[in-house]
Amino acid sequence: LAKTTQPISMDSYEGQEVNITCSHNNIATNDYITWYQQFPSQGPRFIIQGYKTKVTNEVASLFIPADRKSSTLSLPRVSLSDTAVYYCLVGGIGDDKIIFGKGTRLHILP
């Protein structure tokens, strides 16, 4: 399983776009990149998953450069309710385990 590195914490303001970058230098060819969100006192919740280029859903966008050694989760126009911990995971076909790193603690300020 590829190891990931993310910033420990980030602050931003309501209405701003927030970008959280994850490094995964030893990502394997069949690995996907997945992001989860965790609110206090709740279990994590799946946000988005991608393999290459750009993926967008109603919650976020995921940008993956051609070398796939990093990825960026983009949250458009954040609100106070986006304050949470965001986890970047890398795993591929045949990986039984789902391993979480320490995540990025995002704090949205009014």
Partner 1 sequence: DAGITQSPRYKITETGRQVTLMCHQTWSHSYMFWYRQDLGHGLRLIYYSAAADITDKGEVPDGYVVSRSKTENFPLTLESATRSQTSVYFCASSDIASSGMNTEAFFGQGTRLTVV
| Binding mask of the shown chain, residues 8 to 37, with x at each position contacting partner 1 by CB under 8 A | ------------------------x-x-x-
**Residue 43, both tokens:** 């279990």
13 versus 46: smaller Cβ distance to partner 1 = 46
Among residues 5, 25, 80, 99, which is the contact residue for partner 1, using CB under 8 A? 99
Asked if residue 100 binds partner 1 (CB under 8 A), the reply is yes
Identify whether the C-beta of residue 6 lies closer than 8 Å to the C-beta of residue 102: yes
Identify whether the C-beta of residue 45 lies closer than 8 Å to the C-beta of residue 36: yes
Paired residues of 21 in beta bridges: 72
